[in-house]
Every structure is written in C-alpha cells, then in structure tokens.
Chain A
Amino acid sequence: MSSMLQNFSKNKTALICMIILLFIIVVVIFSEFLPLHSPNKMNKEYRLQGPSSEFFLGTDQFGRDLFSRIISGAKISLLVGISSVIISVGIGIILGLIAGYFGKWYDSLIMRTMDILFAFPEILLALAIVAALGPGTFNTILAIGIVNIPVFTRLVRGSVLGVKNLEYIESAKSLGAKDTRILFLEILPNITAPLLVQSTLAISGAILTESALSFLGLGVQPPNPSWGGMIAESRRYMELAPGMIIWPCLAMLITIFAINLFGDALNDIFNPLRGKN
C-alpha cells in the first residue's frame, strides 16, 4: 500500500489532477460559507454584465451571478456523477459476480440483458428513461446509473472469470468457505483495481451525460443551475455576453479533463507493467 502511495506521489499528472479535483470538491462543500451571491437571486439592474469586482465572472440575462451558478452547477454535476456511478457500480458488482461466478443460465440471462442495454446509444437510453420517469435531478441520477450498469457488469464478470479458477479460491473452498464469503472477501478485493479505474472514468462520462440531458431540458430543472442548462440558456446571449457560455464550458472542460487524467494515472499505478514497452 505504501509503495502504491509512493508511486502515486511520483506521478505528477495524477498529483496535479488530484489537487484540482480536491479543490473543486472543497469549494463545492464549503460554497455556502463563501461570500457569494445566491445563485438564483436576480439583479435586474446588472443583466448580462462582464466580470467586475461585484460579479467575479459577470452575470446572466437575469442578472444572476455566473460564478456562484457555476459553483452550484459543480455541486449538481458532482452529485449526479458520483451517485449515479455508485448505483451502477453497486448493481454491476452484484450482477457481474453472479454471472461470472455461477455461470450457466445465470450468466446467459444477465449478460444477454446487459447486451440489450448496451445496444442503445448511451444518451438515447438515458433520454428514454428520463422521458419515462419525468425530468428532475433524482431521475437523472437514476437514468445515468442504469445506463452505466452493463459496463460494470461486463468488467466485473470478466475479472471474476480471470480470478475464480486461481488456486487460492479453490484453497478457500477446500477450507470450507461459503460462496458468499468467496465472492465478497476473496474475489471482490482482487478485482478492485480495474473497478476503481473504470468508476473514475464513468464519473466524467456521467457528468457529460447529465450536462447533455440538462442542455436538452430533461435533466436538472431551472431555476437550479447546471452546466448543461447554463450553456443551453446562453446560446441566445452569446454575442452580448460571451462569458455566459465560456465559463460553464471551461468549468466542465477542466473537471472532465482532471477526472479522465486522474483515471488514466490510476490505471498506470495499478498496472505498472502496462505501456512500458
């Protein structure tokens, strides 16, 4: 473990990305204590302004502070990203373990169902689910969570197949361990590395999907700010106040970029042999 941490601190990309992500998370958590304007408060006399000492990044068409809206949007994005991935990882682990370990018709049933889910383009499936459940933050989380289940089920199943015939699993069986014990205490810890990497990458994917849904008006509902929604609103005011579209895009870009590079770095740390040739 300590050598893993050492590897980590040596990997500069990982370190920088982690600092950026930690910074975003800390700002989001403590945003209520920061001296910011309320994200939903309208100031009619300050509409579509550029950056000033009063409004750090300027204002939108209702005179709302862009900076506090972006931070609020970050909160939503992280919330949706992380909780939807928790849903997909949780369900994916259980389905993948069952399919990989027990095989036979469990495997066929689960994996064919996953194939069906996989057959739809991600955004289309999310759209369909949100359309069925109705728009809103919670339903967005649920939809993105469901869309990502097959990715994790496949990943877990594949890893289980690689591990389950190793001798230490047989050894655990020969010592009288139950199936549940073998699944969760012997196999699961040995497949966490790919899971962790995939989860990180899935978070950025989920944030993008959330933005896309909000852009289309099916995700987070106004007046609550979300990056996708802000970009959608800004289209009409692009020439008047370019900040309205630039800042949310930039926020999204930095966040996604940091998460993806962080995921890649994690991958390098967990698979030190990969890509060295």
Chain B
Amino acid sequence: MNSLLKVEDLKVQIKKNKDVTTIIKDINFSINPGETLGVVGESGCGKSITSLAIMRLLDKNAQVTGKIQFESHDILRMTQKEFRHVRGNHISLIFQEPMTSLNPLHKIGKQISEPVIRHLKMSKSDAKERTIELLNAVGIPRPNEIYNEYPYQLSGGMRQRIVIAMAMACNPRLIIADEPTTALDVTIQAQILKLLKKIAKENGTSILFITHDLGVVAEMCDRVIVMYAGQIVEEADVRTIFKQPKHPYTKGLLSSMPNMEKEYEVLDTIEGSVPMFNEMPTGCRYASRCKLAQDICFNREPDLIKANSDHKARCYFA
C-alpha cells in the first residue's frame, strides 16, 4: 500500500544569532490512508515541531531539511502558492487550545465556510449549507443559530467541535491533531475522541495524533511513535507498545502511568530530566536516565533498530 504521508530524515534546526540548535533529527515515519498514528512524548520532545514542520508553519528562522512526501509531492519543495492549496484542503490542523484558536471577532459560520469557499470554490449559499452539515456532523445542537453566533458564546468543548468542523471542512486526507483534548475536561475529552474516531472512519481520513496522554493513545491509535529529546525512540503498533515495549524510556513512561489495581506509596517516575537541546550528549540521549546504560550507550548513539518487522527501537538492548 502506498503511504499517504512519508517523512524521511526530517531535521529541524533553529538559528538564533549565530547559534544553530538542532531541535529534531532523524525523524522517519509514514502514515497509511485511513490510519491513525500516535506521537507521544513529554513536553519539549519535538512532537509539535514535527507537526508544524509538516504544515510549514515554523518561523522563518527554522531550517527544515529532509523530505516530507505527501501523496506524490514533497511538501518542503512546494512553492508557497502550491502549498497554500494543500493547507486546509488536503491537510488540516486541529489545535490544542480551543479557547484561542477561533478568531473572537468572526461569526462561527464565517470561520467554517471560509476555507470551503477558498478551496472548494463553492458559492456562498452552498458553503452555508455545507457548514450547517458540518456543524451537524460534529454534534453541535441548533446549527442554524450557532452559525450566526460568536466564539465567546460557546463552551470549550463546543469550540473544539467547531475547530474540528473547520479542519474537516474540505474533506482533508490527513488531519494533524496536536493535543486536541488536552485543554478539555475528561468527559468532553471522551466525546471529542469518539467524534474524531467516527469522522476518520466515515471519511477514511488519516490522523496524525499528537499527545502525551497514553490513555488517549490506547483509545485512538493504530500505530505509535514514541519521541524523546527530538528523536524517535520507538515505533510499533499500539498493542505492542503497551504489551512489549522495547525501549527503556517507553517502559518508564508506561510504568509511571497509575494503575488502578496496584497500591502505591508514591507513583513511579523516571529519574533525571531531559537534556537541553544545546547540550545533547554524544551517545544515547536517554543514557543518563537509563538503568541499563553501559559504556557504549554514552559513547555512541544507537540507531533505530528493527526488533521485528513492525517494531523499531533506538536502543542497544532492545
């Protein structure tokens, strides 16, 4: 099967004055049509940078190298104008913070119908019909009235539905969801996840799902990438990640999740902290926090090694 999105050797460097800091490197993954790929990792590990790189939304001082193959085109080699046609049309983005990702001064209907008019060249009345349809699809009550309301009149969960409706407006083939439920409370989270899942299934949309919540990953994803300090450290399908994690970091993440059946004095944690981007060690980036670490780990960086056909880990002991 041809993959929808294929990222090869993606590397992002931020230039500040004369210092160049590598934020992410050696990012290789692909997403098949209809598949949901989860990207997990703690704050600052490069999850969001990866998604922004795919959308080409990084600041101009960021240098992006490598290859991002979307269908038959390399996103990084498209002109601004060509890519503008892709953004919002074939790939769209759902943001983390529903309270600020809608413009407070435009009506809901206008915000959703705008990309429809722009990309699908619909007339205003057709676009309105489509918008109402979308509002219905994301489970907004009274769509005809909400169409003329402003964002401040809606709650967080409702706004996130609006944001999802905007992202879906042109039937994109890939939705990048950057922590779409982090800002919402748990019951609303469940509703939004269900909604995303339903939409993906009905339209055959692929989702790149970025989160730090392993519970959400188990719920949503087919395959998972675990990122640590700007690198992919493990990649496997969702069952394998939870049942047989190979990388010590993934194991650490999983064991620091509270379990209902165990009694705790203190929750398990991973000792130490993530190295700073400007002082990355020469060896394995996780070595200083790893219980298995040997001399080789501190001296030479491990590659992403295939453990078996679909399972890769960046560790000598995997």
Interface residues of A (CB under 8 A from B): 104, 166-178, 186, 189-190
Contacting residue for A171 out of B85, B89, B118, B166, CB 8 A: B166
Residue ID in chain A nearest B52 by CB atoms? A170
Residues of the A chain whose Cβ atoms lie less than 8 Å from the Cβ of B100: 166-168
Q: In the complex, are the beta carbons of A175 and B92 less than 8 A apart?
A: yes
A175-B57 contact given A166-B100, A167-B100, A186-B103, CB 8 Å threshold: no
Contacting residue for B88 out of A175, A186, A189, A190, CB 8 A: A175
In the complex, A173→B163 CA distance in Å?
14
Interface residues of B in 48-85 (CB under 8 A from A): 55, 57, 60, 84-85
Q: In the complex, are the beta carbons of A172 and B103 less than 8 A apart?
A: yes
B180 close to chain A: CB less than 8 A: no
Q: In the complex, are the beta carbons of A173 and B87 less than 8 A apart?
A: yes
Q: In the complex, are the beta carbons of A174 and B55 less than 8 A apart?
A: yes
B95 close to chain A: CB less than 8 A: yes
Residue ID in chain A nearest B51 by CB atoms? A174
B97 close to chain A: CB less than 8 A: yes
A17 nearest CB across to chain B (Å): 26
Q: In the complex, are the beta carbons of A171 and B101 less than 8 A apart?
A: yes
A-B contact count (CB 8 A): 59
In the A-B complex, the 7 residue pairs with the smallest Cβ-Cβ separation, listed nearest first, are A175-B88, A176-B88, A174-B93, A167-B101, A176-B87, A168-B103, A175-B115
Residues of the A chain whose Cβ atoms lie less than 8 Å from the Cβ of B133: none
Residue ID in chain A nearest B87 by CB atoms? A176
In the complex, A167→B96 CA distance in Å?
9
Q: In the complex, are the beta carbons of B163 and A175 less than 8 A apart?
A: no
A3 nearest CB across to chain B (Å): 11
Residues of the B chain whose Cβ atoms lie less than 8 Å from the Cβ of A177: 88, 114, 118
A5 nearest CB across to chain B (Å): 16
B260 close to chain A: CB less than 8 A: no
Residues of the A chain whose Cβ atoms lie less than 8 Å from the Cβ of B104: 168, 190
Q: In the complex, are the beta carbons of B115 and A171 less than 8 A apart?
A: no
Residue ID in chain B nearest A179 by CB atoms? B80
Residues of the B chain whose Cβ atoms lie less than 8 Å from the Cβ of A167: 95-97, 100-101
B105 close to chain A: CB less than 8 A: yes
B66 nearest CB across to chain A (Å): 20
Q: In the complex, are the beta carbons of B87 and A171 less than 8 A apart?
A: no
Interface residues of B (CB under 8 A from A): 55, 57, 60, 84-89, 92-93, 95-97, 100-106, 114-115, 118-119, 163, 166, 169
In the complex, A166→B96 CA distance in Å?
12
Residues of the A chain whose Cβ atoms lie less than 8 Å from the Cβ of B119: 176
Residue ID in chain B nearest A192 by CB atoms? B105
In the complex, A169→B93 CA distance in Å?
12
A209 nearest CB across to chain B (Å): 33
| 18 examples of A-B residue contacts, CB within 8 angstroms | A166-B100, A167-B97, A167-B100, A168-B102, A168-B103, A168-B104, A171-B101, A171-B166, A174-B93, A175-B118, A175-B166, A176-B85, A176-B115, A176-B118, A177-B88, A178-B84, A189-B105, A189-B106
A190-B95 contact given A170-B57, A174-B57, A176-B87, CB 8 Å threshold: no
B90 nearest CB across to chain A (Å): 10
Contacting residue for A176 out of B84, B101, B102, CB 8 A: B84
Residues of the B chain whose Cβ atoms lie less than 8 Å from the Cβ of A173: 57, 87
Residues of the A chain whose Cβ atoms lie less than 8 Å from the Cβ of B85: 176
In the complex, A51→B84 CA distance in Å?
71
Residue ID in chain B nearest A173 by CB atoms? B57
Residues of the B chain whose Cβ atoms lie less than 8 Å from the Cβ of A189: 103, 105-106
In the complex, A167→B183 CA distance in Å?
14
Residues of the A chain whose Cβ atoms lie less than 8 Å from the Cβ of B103: 168-169, 172, 186, 189-190
A175-B87 contact given A167-B95, A170-B57, CB 8 Å threshold: yes
Residues of the A chain whose Cβ atoms lie less than 8 Å from the Cβ of B92: 174-175
Q: In the complex, are the beta carbons of A168 and B84 less than 8 A apart?
A: no
In the complex, A176→B114 CA distance in Å?
10
Residues of the B chain whose Cβ atoms lie less than 8 Å from the Cβ of A172: 103
B152 nearest CB across to chain A (Å): 11
In the complex, A92→B89 CA distance in Å?
35
Residues of the B chain whose Cβ atoms lie less than 8 Å from the Cβ of A178: 84
Residue ID in chain A nearest B114 by CB atoms? A175
Q: In the complex, are the beta carbons of B84 and A171 less than 8 A apart?
A: no
B3 nearest CB across to chain A (Å): 22
Residue ID in chain B nearest A188 by CB atoms? B105
Q: Which of B88, B163, B166 has the most CB of A within 10 A?
A: B88
Residue ID in chain B nearest A186 by CB atoms? B103
In the complex, A174→B101 CA distance in Å?
11
Residues of the A chain whose Cβ atoms lie less than 8 Å from the Cβ of B169: 175
In the complex, A178→B85 CA distance in Å?
10
B105 nearest CB across to chain A (Å): 4
Residues of the A chain whose Cβ atoms lie less than 8 Å from the Cβ of B105: 189-190
In the complex, A122→B87 CA distance in Å?
47
Residues of the A chain whose Cβ atoms lie less than 8 Å from the Cβ of B60: 104
Q: Which of A167, A169, A171 has the most CB of B within 10 A?
A: A171
Residue ID in chain B nearest A172 by CB atoms? B103
Residue ID in chain A nearest B95 by CB atoms? A167
Residue ID in chain B nearest A169 by CB atoms? B103
Q: In the complex, are the beta carbons of B88 and A174 less than 8 A apart?
A: yes
Residues of the B chain whose Cβ atoms lie less than 8 Å from the Cβ of A169: 103
In the complex, A177→B103 CA distance in Å?
13
B234 nearest CB across to chain A (Å): 28
Residues of the B chain whose Cβ atoms lie less than 8 Å from the Cβ of A174: 55, 57, 87-88, 92-93
